[in-house]
Amino acid sequence: MSGESVKLYVYDLSNGLARQMSMSLTGRQIDGIWHTAVVLYGHEFYYGQGILSSPPGTTHLGPPLEVIDMGETYLPEEVVVEYIDSQRSVFTAEKYHLLDFNCNTFSNSLCQFLTGRNIPQHISDLPADFLNTPFGQSIRPMIEGMFGQSRLAPPQEQQPPTGAGATPTLAQQNILRDISSAALSAAPQPADNQPSPLQTAPNLSQLRQWIQSYKAVVVFFTSATCPPCRTIKPDFERLVQDKNNSSSTKIKLMGVTVDTGIAFDAAQNFGIRATPTFMLFHNGDKFSEFRGASYAELESSVNLLLFTAYPPHPHRKIHQLRCVLDLPNKPVLYNTPGKVEMIYNKLKSFLDQDGIKLSEQDQNILEQSKKVVLNSSIPIDMGQWSSFIDTMLVKLPLDHQFPLLDIFRTLFATKIASEHYLNNCSQLVRIIENGYKQENVPKATLLMTLRVACNLFAHNILVTTYFTSTLPAATESRASLTQLLVSSLLSNDSQVRQTAASLAFNCSTVVADERLKKEKEDGYLEGMAEQEDDDWQIEIISAIMDDLSKETDEEVIHRLLAAIAKFLFLAPTQSSSIADLLSALEIKDMLDAKKTDKIITTSKVSSLAREVLLLVESSVSLA
């Protein structure tokens, strides 16, 4: 009796980064962050979002890095499938842990059952080896924050390096997220890494997997001897392709073909007695069914399924939102250099007045910064520049800092500057805090501080990581940005309030951009969910409304209304309190009074005000 070959497919979740960077980060060579799968009977079985399977080598990870022969099994396919099904309650998505209970745990268990052999020890021991390094200990809190506490005890003989346990750098966070996402990813994909919305299920187990893995699934039961099946098949495949956004990385509608002559267990389970039969599923539950090769019925059934699975946001049903929809999705930036010579001469005159003598290195970096301000492609030593700024923030009086900040906000808009502050934004926080921590901050200094804050939004990763999210790394920095915004909106100076209104608008664009991405992905969130924070948005909206109630400058009113509109539009219907707050603060009466008092006079502002009220009314009615 011949046996079935059992193969272990080995992948590197770090895509080579571990081999390149492990020595410098951990002090030891780690050749890969290993993910494994077990292949037999034409299926690749693996663990992530539960136990999954796909045709060998067709997952999102592409071809395996290594294939290890684990021997043979003499168990028939149906026994193997039955055993794997019995393990689904053990290897659930909720129990997955990157260190303790992962894909390699499953592969080892399955290989023991099939062949009596364990997977290679260097794979199964990797989590303990990784944690037994200073870098592993420093990043352990972040892993446990994602997956829960690890059962792997911290090493006794080795103390973490200085700073271990602190918030990991952005680069470390991104690498860990990429590895975690790859480890948990469930959808089998072609080797080009693009999802395929058309799949074939050769048995009941595979069909169940597809049905449970996607929000909307249409199953086409066919047979080789069915002429109507051959007729409708091209239309079925085209319809599924058309319903999936070609620019999206997510599958909106999964189409699964089942040949009843091959997957007889699937046909029997679902009671298929004639082909073609179409069954539609929503969130794993049967939604509808019909028989026959009617394309009109197929299309209408699919449309109803998709409308149920992905209902449009109620705001999309409001047709009079032209002004809201026309608002720019880009932040307001202040990155155009001013009168460069005059600004540098002003800074030098302040240095002379304050008796500040620059070292040769400081003089050189200041001259170099002028070249960069005039030509952003010229390189600059950001370490020296940052050190120079630290020195000047200490030595220059607050009322003499505005030319320095004017230079800083222009240079900060360059790519090299943003990359420098990705790993440490403490200097940016210090500059922001100077704008509100002291009483009577001079107007020129406050304006330049606000412009620096606005220019943060030129760098999406920087701002969404440190200044607008609920990530631990953003706790202090976001609070500082918010305090600067709130205090500036209450200023008696119209120019300060106008710049603060731009900062409020920039904050709202981050939230709005994330919602649009989520909508584009049909409910699958792309980007950082931490931007959607109701408490933070309420704090900003409260300050905006305080300013709006007293504001007489129509340009400031327009920017404030634009920020409100961005915060409101497509807000989560169940969790957002913004509309309720605006209604409680009687925004309608406030805006009506401004029209009556001739404060709002232009059609641009009055139309936006009307649309904001439509959004408030619509959102409140949904609560």
pLDDT beneath 70: ranges in the chain: 1, 17-28, 60, 131, 134-195, 245-249, 521-530, 622-623
Q: Compute the distance between CA of residue 11 and CA of residue 87 in angstroms, rounded to an integer.
A: 23
What is the DSSP code (8-state) at residue 101? Answer: B
Q: Compute the distance between CA of residue 623 and CA of residue 615 in angstroms, rounded to an integer.
A: 13
- pLDDT for res 174: 55
Does residue 28 sit in helix, strand or coil?
coil
- The CATH class given to the 4-150+161-184 domain equals alpha beta
- pLDDT for res 87: 86
Give the start-to-end residue ranges of the domains of the chain: 4-150+161-184, 198-311
The verdict on domain 198-311 having CATH code 3.40.30.10 is yes
- pLDDT for res 97: 81
* pLDDT, tens only, 539-556: 999 999 999 999 999 999
Q: Do the first three CATH levels of 4-150+161-184 and 198-311 match, i.e. the same topology?
A: no
**Is residue 451 a contact partner of residue 409, using CB atoms and an 8 Å limit?**
yes
- pLDDT for res 365: 96
Q: For 105-141, what is the HEC assignment?
A: HHHHHHHHHHHCCCCCHHHHCHHHHHHCCHHHHHHHH
* pLDDT, tens only, 289-320: 999 999 999 999 999 999 998 888 889 889 88
- pLDDT for res 189: 44
CA-wise closest residue to 39 among 102, 118, 111, 119: 111
- pLDDT for res 524: 44
Active-site residue set = 35, 103
Question: First vs last Cα of the chain: how many Å apart?
Answer: 67
**Residue where the block lists tokens 């019995």:** 86
Q: Compute the distance between CA of residue 442 and CA of residue 402 in angstroms, rounded to an integer.
A: 9
Establish how many alpha carbons lie within 13 A of residue 589's alpha carbon, considering only the half-sphere containing its beta carbon.
4
Q: Compute the distance between CA of residue 129 and CA of residue 551 in angstroms, rounded to an integer.
A: 61
Task: Tell which phi-psi region holds residue 533, choosing left (phi > 0), alpha (psi between -120 and 50) or beta.
Answer: beta
